[in-house]
Amino acid sequence: MERIRAYTIPQIERHGAISEWIVDDTGFPKKGTHSVGVARQYCGQLGKQDNCQVAVSLSLANDHASLPVAYRLYLPQSWANDDARRTKAGVPEEIEFKTKPQIALDQIKWACKAGLPRGVLIIDAGYGVEAKFRSEISALKLKYVAGVKTTNTVWVPETLTSPHAVNARRGANEGAPISVEKLALALPKSSWRTIRWRDGTNAVLSSRFARVRVRSAHDRNAAKETVPEEWLLIEWPPQ
């Protein structure tokens, strides 16, 4: 992989600087129980839970091409804690159970240490939902765009004074965090913009977006002022 990186990254950069680091995982449908790491888990190829292996990867990309620079098989706890199964399959003793975000974070730290050309980190909600993971990324001085779930909570800006915002806060403690879904519903109509970004197969791709400065509320014991502000970008297609 080192030789491939040394050859391929300059070829990609001929068409423009590296602009993104992409964290993702890939599922490989499998039958049986003997393939290392195989278990019933979410498989992206199938779009559902099924018997498969999963690998976590970090890719460097620009508008021209992308290249996986780190790639590791995810070992579920059912495998990591089964000595007989590990021995039979030849899993090295030093391989311990790690969550997918932990594997991804190791890959990102390695890429930083290796001095690979940096880009904005792109993370889906399977990883972005973890506030600790996002905090570790910030500590590496990397910019990121991370998907979150509608249930993620944030401290809302005091400038939200619409009737919807009042209703969203009603019954809660003053300054209490709310879910990002409730925040989206609380935004006034003036907050939303229709953005068109490129031609699709049949039409121009567009959707409705809003952005708000928020503070993550993952740690209810932390003082609100100690949590850095971030942009929350909300997509809510028109009905």
pLDDT of residue 171: 46
Q: Which fold has domain 2-146?
A: Nucleotidyltransferase; domain 5 (3.30.420)
Mind listing the pLDDT tens digit for each residue in 158-214?
655 454 555 554 544 456 889 999 999 999 999 999 999 887 778 888 999 999 999
Sketch the domain layout of the chain as residue ranges: 2-146, 153-235
- Cβ neighbour number for residue 42 with a 10 Å cutoff: 14
Instruction: Give the model's pLDDT for residue 224.
Output: 60
Q: Residues 75, 77, 82, CA angle at the centre, nearest 5°? A: 95
* 3 state SS of 147: coil
Q: Looking at residue 88, what is its pLDDT?
A: 93
Alpha-carbon distance 83 to 91, whole Å?
9
| Residue numbers in the chain where pLDDT is lower than 70 | 158-175, 219-226
- For position 172, what pLDDT does the model report? 46
Phi, psi of 112 (to 5 degrees): -65, -45
Q: What is the pLDDT of residue 199?
A: 77
- In the chain, how many H helices and how many E strands? 8, 11
CB of 102 closer than 8 Å to CB of 72: no
